[in-house]
Amino acid sequence: MNTIPGNTKSPSQRIGVKLAVVIAIMLGLMVPLNMIDSTLKERLGRRNEAVADITSSWGKEQALIGPVLIVPYRYSYKTLKDTVIKGVVSKVEVVETATADAWFLPERLNVDGKLLPEKLHRGIYEAVVYKGDITFSGKFAAPDPASLKLDGGQLQWADARVAFGVTDLRGTTDALELRFGGDAYRMTPGTSVGEMPDGVHARVGAKAKAGNLSFSLKVGLKGSGGVSFAPLGVENEVRLSSPWPDPSFKGQFLPTERTIKPEGFDALWKVSYYGRPYPQYGAQALPVGQLQGSMFGVSFYTAVDSYRMTERAIKYGVLFFTLVFAVFFLFETLASLRIHPVQYTLTGAALCLFYLGLLSLAEFIGFGWAYLGAALASAVLVTLYTSSVLGGGKRSLLVGAELAAIYGFLYVTLNLQDYSLLIGTVGLFAVLSLIMYLTRNVDWQQY
């Protein structure tokens, strides 16, 4: 190996300096990579604002709780009051009355719904929303005042009502009519339950005193993201169907039966009251927090979120730099080439542009095609540039093949989320093994 005139460093010193320079370049390339990541977060925030704007007009994610039978009751309690007797203030025990609500959950609850999702756009951004009809049916057992340690006279049957919780009433498309015990009741806004303010209610009066009263309620519903239900019955059966091919089942209970096809899904939940923490009736405040904690349902999951996938791809940026620069460094070592730090930097800049191209294209043509376009542009650019840097077509083709393998490996890793760590580890082990094999006979002492 020839010594550069005026350079008094030994070969081993020169290779050590070059290695330090390459590492410094890699660290410097983290700056534009972080800038691209900041741009991604800004675009993601803008997308989320657009989605929130769409869903605020259409309807939010819906959580449906009900029906619940509410019966007011009177009770007496003793208290001390200040009383003035002959000019002297003293405490006197008096008996006062107040009103509270007893609540009863249905004996059986059946839910049957068909939801039709669609995509709404605001500029280049889209949100998944849905509309459809959901029918609630079942029956209430006869309310038993003795179970609440009340007598029948305390219960104000004339003011009995049925409450139904709906997260976003703007998503109800038709007037709601409750059929209860064979009669029809128009439901009005508000649940009249302080702990569950969002929803509707209907006054059913003394009809609630009878036993084995059946009910049904058809809800025309619009919403976004997903829908969920509370298992209020002793026996609960919920059946949902939709042409959406990528459902994400959520909550405390998974479907007992499910069929997922490219044409859509059908799901059936069969849930008993043993899996929840609240009883079928109570004389205290309705435990809305516990009701919400027991909910289950489905989200209309978007299989490929281009922003999240791009964000994950950026995390592999250092790996890209390391593998490509390692090939350059091996050419310098094994083929006695000299590659200037500027050439390292320009190659790294081309690798950074892959991520910017991926982010910008994915907003218009989807992640898969965007990835292919950005990878081709980056690989062709680096390959053409290295054809002169490395002094030969075969060497540049080797770099191009390496980039194709890296981009292909990364795409597979991104799409196999559950196995990404395992696949990444195996890939790195294979690359390190190949480098060790190629350099097994190199006498590093001469450099």
Can you give the pLDDT of all 447 residues of the chain as single tens digits? 333 444 555 455 566 677 788 788 888 888 888 888 888 888 888 888 888 888 888 888 899 998 999 999 888 777 777 776 666 777 777 777 888 888 999 999 999 999 998 888 777 777 888 999 999 999 998 887 878 877 766 888 888 999 999 988 888 888 899 999 888 999 999 887 877 778 999 999 888 887 778 999 999 999 888 899 999 999 999 999 999 988 989 999 999 999 999 899 999 999 999 989 999 998 888 888 899 999 999 998 776 678 888 888 888 788 778 878 777 777 776 666 677 888 888 888 888 888 888 888 888 888 888 989 998 988 888 888 877 776 666 777 777 787 888 888 888 877 776 666 677 677 777 777 877 776 666 665 555
Asked if 314 and 226 sit in the same domain, the reply is: no
DSSP codes joined into one string, 350-396: HHHHHHHHHHHHHHHH-HHHHHHHHHHHHHHHHHHHHHHHTTSHHHH
Are 189 and 244 part of one and the same domain? yes
Looking at the fold, whether 258 and 379 belong to one and the same domain comes out as no
Please indicate, yes or no, whether residues 108 and 222 belong to a single structural domain of this protein. yes
264/145 same-domain check? yes
Q: Are residues 79 and 21 located together in one domain of the fold? A: no
In a domain, 1, yes or no: no
Distance CA 163, CA 144 (A): 19
CA atoms of 343 and 327, how far apart (whole Å): 13
Report the candidate in 33, 193, 32 with the shortest Cα–Cα distance to residue 103: 193
Residues 153 and 252 in one domain: yes
Please give the Cα distance from 410 to 375 (Å, whole number): 11
- The reported pLDDT for the residue numbered 294 is 93
Burial of 440 (0-12, 13-18, 19+ CB in 10 A): exposed
CB 337 within 8 A of CB 391: yes
In 3-state terms the chain splits into helix, strand, coil percentages (rounded to 5) of 45, 30, 25
Looking at the structure, do residues 321 and 211 belong to the same domain, yes or no?
Answer: no
- Is residue 87 in a domain? yes
Note whether 59 and 118 are within 8 A (CB). no
Which domain-ending residue is among 284, 300, 316? 300
Cα separation values, 349 from 28, 29, 343, 352, 401, Å: 10, 7, 10, 5, 19
Q: Does residue 294 sit in the same domain as residue 320?
A: no
Packing angle, helices 367-389 and 341-365, rounded to 10: 160
Q: Please tell me the distance from the alpha carbon of residue 200 to that of residue 193, in angstroms, as a whole number.
A: 10
290 and 382: one domain?
Answer: no
Q: Is residue 4 part of a domain?
A: no
Quick check: is 384 in a domain? yes
Q: Which domain holds residue 212?
A: 59-300
Q: Positive or negative, the Cα torsion across 39, 44, 47, 52?
A: negative
The DSSP bridge partners found for residue 267 are 240, 258
The count of structural domains within the chain is 2
- Confirm whether 2 is domain-assigned: no
Q: Which among 249, 266, 300 is the end of a domain?
A: 300
pLDDT at 6: 45
Quote the pLDDT of residue 1. 34
Residues 175 and 276 in one domain: yes
Q: Are residues 264 and 313 in the same domain?
A: no
Show which of 300, 327, 344 is a domain's final residue: 300
Residue 177 resides in a domain? yes
**6 within domain boundaries:** no
What CA–CA distance (Å, rounded) separates 111 from 302?
A: 25
CATH number assigned to the domain comprising residue 88? 2.60.40
The per-residue pLDDT for 52 is: 82
**Measured distance CA(238)–CA(252) in Å, rounded:** 14
| Residue 5 placed within a domain | no
Residues facing residue 221 across a β-bridge: 132, 172
